[in-house]
Structures are given as C-alpha cells and as structure tokens.
Amino acid sequence: MSHFGRDRTSAASVRSHRPSTDVDDVLTAFRSGDPVLIHDAADREGETDLVYPAREVTPDSVRRLRNDAGGLVCIALADRVARAWDLPFLQEILSHPAAANHRLEYDERSSFSLPVNHRDTYTGITDDDRALTIATIGAAAEAPKAMDFSATFRTPGHVHLLRAAPDLLSDRQGHTELGVALAETAGLPPAVVVCEMLDDETGGALAPSAAKAYADRNDLRYVDGTHLIERLG
C-alpha cells in the first residue's frame, strides 16, 4: 500500500506515471490496496474523494486521509451489508426538529447511517482507533451475517457509515455508490473509505486540476466519475 508523503515521488517517476482515467488501471490499483482519487461530477458535489478499500486501511492510511484529504472520513457500505447489520439511514431515525425538512441542493437524500467505534477502541478518534474500526468493518463486509455488529461496535462513534443505494449507480451516482461499485468490480468486499479532498488555501473543495497534480506527485490513480459510470453503471 502506498503511504502518505506529498513529495516522496521522484521527478522521473512522476513523468512515467501520469494520473490515469483508464478504469482498468484504477481497478488494478484499487485491487492491490492502493487508494484512488474519484471526482464525482461538476454538476453534482464537484468534489474529489480519496478512496481506500476499507479492509486495507492502516493507521498510516488514516493519517493520509486527515492530512492530505482533510474532509470527513467515512465508510461506504453496500445496501445488502447495511441491511444485514440493521443500519438505518440516519435522517429517518432522528426525531430532533433540526432533522425536519432535510433538503440537499445536490441530491435527494443523505447516505449517512450511524457513526461508530470498535468496542476495543478508547476514544475512537486516534489513527490507531479509527484504523481498527475501519479495517474490521471492511473485512466483515465480505460476509456480514457472520459478525454480530452490535457486539463489535458501539454508537455514537467517530467513523461515519454511509449506506449505498440498492442498485448503486443505477439509483444514485455519489461517491458512496462510485466507491462501492469500484470495490465490487475489483472483487473486494463492498466497503470503502471515502474522504473529501479540501483546498488548504480556500477551505473549499480541491479543484480537479489540483487533485490530478496530487495524484501525479504520489503515483496514484485519478478518475472522473463519468468514466466509472460508463464502465461500471
């Protein structure tokens, strides 16, 4: 697995490993445990997420996500996995008035489910704690009914779970579905970490050109969501 470090790649390596939108290259990298960068669409969120296979996440991966991406670290799960673990959509179970009339400008609904910690963590927020929570969920997603979710995790916690649409890209084309579809096509458990890449100077979403440059520097694969939808949808 690649580790974080913005300038670890030599100039010669950068020239020979340009960011690729070839989906086969992205699948190969993801299958090997490397993170990939996925941009959803300019007319949707317009964001690039750094995406990992959840079961491959280590404390180094969490450090990279919070230092180099900077957004919210979440685990996206296939709908069948969420159903096996009885995971609801969060907006459907909240009774607080703030949850009423929950409208999104870019989508019909939120994918958020419960935020959790592994029961063997302390605070749940450290790199080691979050890596344990994420990797355990990632491995268990291969055969979700074999694990007692409530005995293994507690809520509230520090790792946010996302529930993908049942038919993935046919239903919804967010990073949740793009990531899970990528994992399934790669033959991996349908659980991926997604984290928005933010611009340190503006505080907004990292521009696609800057995300591609980051991929270039770190020998990672960048792909536009439209290419994934064409191939995986």
pTM score, two decimals?
0.85
Cβ–Cβ under 8 Å, residues 190 and 77 = yes
Q: Which positions ≥6 away from 22 have C-beta within 8 Å?
A: none
Q: What is the pLDDT of residue 55?
A: 97
Residue 156: is the preceding peptide bond cis (ω within 30°)? yes
pLDDT for the residue 10: 33
Catalytic residue among 45, 117, 218, 219: 117
* pLDDT value of residue 174: 78
pLDDT at 27 over 80: yes
pLDDT given for residue 45 in this prediction: 66
Q: Say which of 40, 56, 74, 129 is annotated catalytic.
A: 74
Is there a catalytic annotation at residue 117? yes
pLDDT tens for residues 73-85?
A: 999 999 999 999 9
Whether the Cβ atoms of residue 20 and residue 77 lie closer than 8 Å to each other? no
106 is catalytic: yes
* Token pair recorded at residue 222: 């960048």
Which residues, 6+ apart, have CB-to-CB distance to 93 below 8 Å? Answer: none
Q: How far is CA 135 from CA 130, 193, 225, in A?
A: 8, 10, 25
CATH of 21-92+108-232, picked from 3.40.50.2300, 3.30.10.20, 3.30.830.10, 3.90.870.10, is: 3.90.870.10
Active site residue 3: no
Annotated catalytic residue within 106, 120, 128, 171 = 106
**Is 74 annotated as catalytic?**
yes
Assigned token pair, 40:
């959803």
pLDDT tens digits for 106-151?
566 678 999 999 999 999 999 999 999 999 999 999 999 999 999 9
